[in-house]
Chain A
Amino acid sequence: MVARADTAPGGARWRLWALGPLLLLIAVVAAFSAWGDSVTNLLGRNPPPADQVDVRRVEFKPGEIRIKVTNPQRDDLTVASVTVDDAIVPFTLDGPATLRRLRSSTIVVPYDWVEDDPITVGVTSSTGIETIKEIPAAVETPGPSIERATGYAAIGFLVGVVPIALGLLWLPSLRRAAPRWLAAFMALTAGLLTFLAVEALSEALQLQAALPTGLGGAGIVLLGVATSWLTLTAISHTLSRRGARSSGGGALGGLALATLVAIGIGLHNFGEGLAIGTSFALSELALGSFLIVGFMIHNITEGLGIAAPIADGAKTSVARLATLTLVAGGPAILGAWLGGFITSDVLAVVFFAAAAGAAFEVVTEVVRYVARKAPGGITSPHVLGGFLAGIAVMYITGLVAG
C-alpha cells in the first residue's frame, strides 16, 4: 500500500512525460517542413514525378468509352489529353482534371468503338507523359439489372451453397464412422482449411502487389490476417465458455467448432464470389458450365469439413445445419454481387487476407480438437493421412476448377 501511494503522483508526472517525445516530434517535423530542403538539396535534385496515371477500369458503352483513372503518386497529376487507338479524342471528366494523390476521375470519350476489336486507350498528363492501356477486345460492359443480380446470386448459390449442403449430407455416414476414421476426417478438415488459408494469402498478396504504392505495402494483408485471426480467437473463446457452461466440457468442440469452420470457409467463399463477380462484370472471362461444375466439385469438400466436427456430438437439427450451410456458402452470393456491381481491389485484398487469417485460426482450433479426441493422438497415421488427404483433395479438385 505504501508503495502504491508513492507511485500514484509520480505516475501522473511520468504519464505527462510520455507526451514529451510526441511534442518534440511535432517540433522536428515542423522544422523539417520549413527548412528541410537544405537537407535534401545536399543529396542532389529530386527526379521529376513519373506522371503516369493508374488506369483502373475501362468500360465500353454504346458510342462511349469510360476510363477510370487514379493518381498513384504523391504529386498532383493533370489529365491533359486522351487518345484512343493513337488518335486524340474529345473527352469530358466527371471530376477535376487535376487529381490529387489517390484521387480518381472518370474520363468519358464519345467513341464509335468496334465490337470485339482490340483497342488502346492513352491518357496523357500535362507534362506529356502518356499512360497506355491495351484492351484485348472491346465488349460492351453491362450495367446493373435485376437479371444480372439474379445471375450472380445463382452462380454464388451454385458454387457456394450447393456443394456445402451436399457435403453435409455425409453427416449420417460420419456419425457411424469409427473414432479413428472420424479423427481422420477432422484432420482432413484441417488440411483443406490450411490449403484455403495458403491460397487466400497468396491471392491477397498478389492483389496487394497490384495496388498503387500509395495504398501502402503488404502490411494491409497482415492487418487483415491479424484482425480476422484475433476476432475468431475471441469468438472461439466465447463459444467455448458457453459450451463449458452447458455441457461441462472445457474445450471447444462439436457444433461450436463446426460454426468456426463455417465462418472460415464463408470468408473464403466471399473472396471467391468477389473474384467471379468481378471477372464477369469486366467481361474478363466466359464462365462456362464446366467451370461452375469444377468449383462445385472443389467446394463439396468444404461441406465435409463442416460435418466432421459435429459427427461425434449430439444430434444436430436441420435448421442448424441449414444455418451452417448459409454461413459457409452464402457469402459466395454476397461476394458475387459486390464483385459484379461495385468491385474494389482494396476490398478484395482485405477479404482474402481476412479469409486467410480466419482459416489459419480455425486450423489451430481443429488441430487442438483432434489432439484431444483422436485415438492414438495427433501423430496417428489416420490423422497424418487425413491432413495430407485434405490438402491433396483440394489441390486435385482445384485443378478441375482451373
Chain B
Amino acid sequence: MLPKKLTRKGLIAGAAPLMVAGPLAKLALADNSGEHDHLQLASHEGHGHATQGHAAMIGEQAPAVGGARDLDALLYPPEPLPYRPGRVREYFLTAIDKEIEIAPGLFFPAWTYNGTVPGPVIRATEGDLLRVHFGNGGSHPHTIHFHGIHPANMDGVFEIVPSGGEFTYEFEARPAGLQLYHCHSTPLKKHIHKGLYGAFIIDPKEPRPPAQELVMVMNGYDTDGDGSNNFYTVNGRSFYYAKYPITVKRSRLVRLYLANLTEFDLINSLHLHGSFFRHQPTGTGDHWEYTDTVVQCQGQRGVIEIEFADTGHFMFHAHQSEFAELGWMGFFNVTD
C-alpha cells in the first residue's frame, strides 16, 4: 500500500510536495464550516439526505452557469412547417471566435456558429430548398459540412472558406431525419471539438404527430488540450439541466432530437430514469427500439419519443458514469 521506504536521504524529499499547511489552515477551515450549507440539498422533495458530489444534485446545488432561459434557442427547435413544394428556407451562419463560459467561472476559447456551442438548430421540411449563407468571421478557415443527400460541391469539404470569406450552400433538404452540420476544415478534430457543429432537423413530408419538441446535442470540452475531455454537457453547459430541469407534461408526447458531437470519446449515451421511450436511429426508417438507454458513436443521432406516466423529477444522463459526473446530467420536471 505504501511502497515508500524511509531513508535518511529520501526522508524529506519524498514528503516535500505534500508539506505545508497546519493549524492555521485548520482554524481558517473551522470558521468556514457554516458555508457548506448552501451545498446541502435544499427544498426538493425526494432528496432529503445530503449528497456528496454533483451527479445527483438538482437546482441551485448544481454548478451550472447562466440563467434559466439562456439555452432555450438550442433546446426548443423552430416550429416544423408542413410540406410545400418549391419552398426556400434560408439560414445565416457566421463563424465567430468566442470565449464561452461552460461551467461557473470556467472559460473555453471556442469557435462557434453564431456565438453558441452547439450552433443554432437548422430545420427544414423534406423537399425544401435550403439556402445557408455562411460567413467566416473567425481567425481560421472554416466550412459547413451537412449530413444528408446533396451535390459534391455543396459538401463543405473542398470549398474551404478563408477567414473573412463567404459561401452559400444550396441544396434540397433530404432525407427526413435528424441530420448534423459541422465544420470539415483540417485539423478536423480541432475544428469540431472547438465547437463548430449543430443539429439539422429535416421533417418528413408526412408530418410527425404533434409533440413537445426538444433538441439535445451531447458534447465535451477538452479544456487543457490533453486530448481528453474535462467537461461533458448537453447543449453546451455542464449540469445546466440539473440546475434548470426541463418542464414537460405528463401523458403528452415529448419528442427529443438527440445527437452526439462529443470529440475524443468514441461513444456517448443517454439514459432516462423512470420511463421507457421509443428510439428511431437517425430519425429515419421504420425501425423503432423500445428502451431507456441509447448509445451513439461520434456523429450518430436519433429521434426519441417519450410519454411520461408519472409526475416528478426524472433524471437523464450519460450512462458512462464519468461523463455524468463531469457535467452530462439533467432532469425532466414532469407536471400535470
Contact = CB atoms under 8 A, between A and B. Distances in A.
A402 B7 contact: yes
A345 B224 contact: no
Contacts of A124: 106, 223-224, 230
A278 interface: yes
B53 to A, nearest CB: 5
A298 B8 contact: yes
B185 interface: no
A128 B107 contact: yes
A78 B107 CA distance: 11
Interface stretch (B77-85, B124-132, B322-330): B322-330
B236 to A, nearest CB: 14
Contacts of B25: 66, 68, 94, 106
A144 interface: yes
A81 B326 CA distance: 10
Interface in A276-321: 276, 278-279, 282-287, 291, 295, 298
Contacts of A63: 52
B2 A136 contact: yes
A137 interface: yes
Given A112-B52, A343-B21, A348-B16, A285 B4 contact: yes
Contacts of A90: 39, 52-54, 57, 61, 63
B13 A343 contact: no
A81 B28 CA distance: 21
Given A207-B12, A210-B13, A210-B17, A286 B2 contact: yes
Interface in B3-32: 3-9, 11-23, 25-26, 28-29, 31-32
A209 to B, nearest CB: 9
B103 A207 contact: no
A310 B16 CA distance: 38
B19 A128 contact: no
A68 B24 CA distance: 12
Nearest to A84: B53
Interface string A36-49: 00000000000000
Contacts of A272: 8, 11
Interface string A80-111: 11011011111010110100000010101011
Contact of B224 (A58, A68, A130): A130
A110 B21 CA distance: 19
A59 B23 contact: no
Nearest to A135: B18
Interface in B276-298: none
Size category of the binding interface on chain B: 35 or more
Contact of B221 (A95, A110, A128, A202): A128
Contacts, number: 194
A90 to B, nearest CB: 5
Contacts of B61: 90
Contacts of B11: 203, 272, 275-276, 279
Contacts of A199: 8-9
A286 B4 CA distance: 10
Contacts of B327: 88
Contacts of B20: 56-57, 68, 70, 104, 343-345
A342 B23 CA distance: 6
Contact of B2 (A57, A66, A284): A284
A94 B221 CA distance: 28
Given A124-B106, A143-B26, A203-B12, A116 B230 contact: no
B12 A87 contact: no
A278 B12 contact: yes
A152 to B, nearest CB: 13
B167 interface: no
Interface in A321-375: 341-345, 348, 352
Nearest to B232: A88
A298 B8 CA distance: 10
Contacts of A203: 9, 11-13
A226 interface: no
Contacts of B50: 110
B105 interface: yes
Interface string A172-186: 000000000000000
Nearest to A110: B52
A127 B21 contact: no
Contacts of A207: 12-13, 16
A127 B223 contact: yes
Contacts of B39: 90, 92, 110
Contact of B32 (A92, A130, A271, A402): A92
B106 A81 contact: yes
Contacts of B18: 56-58, 282, 284
A396 to B, nearest CB: 12
Contact of B1 (A66, A137, A348): A137
B277 to A, nearest CB: 27
B8 A402 contact: yes
A344 B8 CA distance: 19
Contacts of B223: 124, 127-130
Interface centre among B8, B26, B326 (most CB of A within 10 A): B8
A284 B53 contact: no
A348 B14 CA distance: 13
Interface string B63-79: 10000000000000000
A306 B55 CA distance: 63
A284 B15 contact: yes
A50 to B, nearest CB: 10
B268 interface: no
B19 A344 contact: yes
B44 interface: no
9 contacts: A68-B25, A87-B325, A94-B32, A116-B1, A128-B224, A202-B9, A278-B19, A295-B8, A343-B19
Which A-B residue pairs are the 6 nearest by beta carbons? A128-B223, A87-B325, A80-B105, A402-B7, A275-B12, A275-B11
Interface of B: 1-9, 11-23, 25-26, 28-29, 31-32, 35-36, 39, 50, 52-55, 57, 61, 63, 103-108, 221, 223-224, 230-231, 238-239, 322, 325-327
Given A88-B63, A203-B9, A341-B23, 10 more contacts: A59-B21, A88-B325, A90-B54, A124-B223, A130-B230, A276-B11, A279-B11, A282-B15, A348-B12, A398-B8
